[in-house]
Amino acid sequence: MTDPASGVFRDRPVSFVRRSGRMSEAQERAWSELGPHLMLPVPRDNAATSVAADAHIDVADVWGRQAPLIVEIGSGQGHAIVHAATTRPHTDFLAVEVFRAGLARTMLDADRAGVGNLRLVEANAPEVLEHLLPAGSVDEVWIFFPDPWHKKKHTKRRLVKPDVVPTLSRALRPGGMLRLATDWEDYALQMRAVLDEATTFDRAFEGDWAPRFEGRVVTAFERKGERVGRAIRDLAYRRSGG
């Protein structure tokens, strides 16, 4: 699988196609002025969004304290994670995204809100969880509205599939939470089937679907899905062993 940003071959499909969208002047300024403080530096492997296998961070050193850590995979424009970081100052947050315009917008909003407990990383999420973060260092992983790759020939690109379960399990502490939401029914069914079969996760809900996670702010993306008649489905799983 070729990384479109670098032309480098990867041995596994990634869950995104990285396009070089144009950034506004404000976003460019955020990247140059806020980036050095808010963006985590990442040693790379071959691809532009890769994380070197020997890369790692000291979580307490990065955030300057000992606190629960929540990681959002595919943070997009940052609406959910900036809101969460603003309302939960005693928790640390990491936004994982590959699109620079989204990361820049997140930095702008975080700066306006005076948020000090948020950091961002421009990288492929499974590699962040596998290499950059210490094992058992994450209290919650959020995967909200991942790309559904709804065409059958593209479903192999979906983020939540059996081979990513060990990576999620590694990053989460025992008892840590994995929270998911999607507006595509077949993807919701796939995620539920994958995680129900995982020996390292236990359901944290009863019935078919989890109640809507109160910590997930309603975004324009979610409203768009509802307008076209797609139901929003939440899932919640607890890392076993806690």
Q: Which residues are catalytic?
A: 147
* CA neighbor of 96 nearest in space, from 52, 55, 53, 144: 144
183 among annotated binding-site residues? yes
Cα–Cα distance, 153 to 134 (Å, whole number): 34
The answer to whether residues 158 and 186 touch, using CB atoms and an 8 Å cutoff, is no
**Consecutive H or E run containing 141:** strand 138-144
226 among annotated binding-site residues? no
**Consecutive H or E run containing 236:** strand 233-239
Residue with tokens 């973060």: 133
**Number of Cβ atoms within 10 Å of the Cβ of 227:** 8
72 among annotated binding-site residues? yes
N-terminal to C-terminal alpha carbon distance within the chain: 37
153 among annotated binding-site residues? no
Please compute, for residue 231, the number of CA atoms within 13 A of its CA located in the half-sphere on the CB side: 10
151 among annotated binding-site residues? yes
214 among annotated binding-site residues? no
Specify binding-site residues. Answer: 72, 97, 124, 147, 151, 183, 219-222
Specify binding-site residues for S-adenosyl-L-methionine. Answer: 72, 97, 124, 147
Specify binding-site residues for substrate. Answer: 151, 183, 219-222
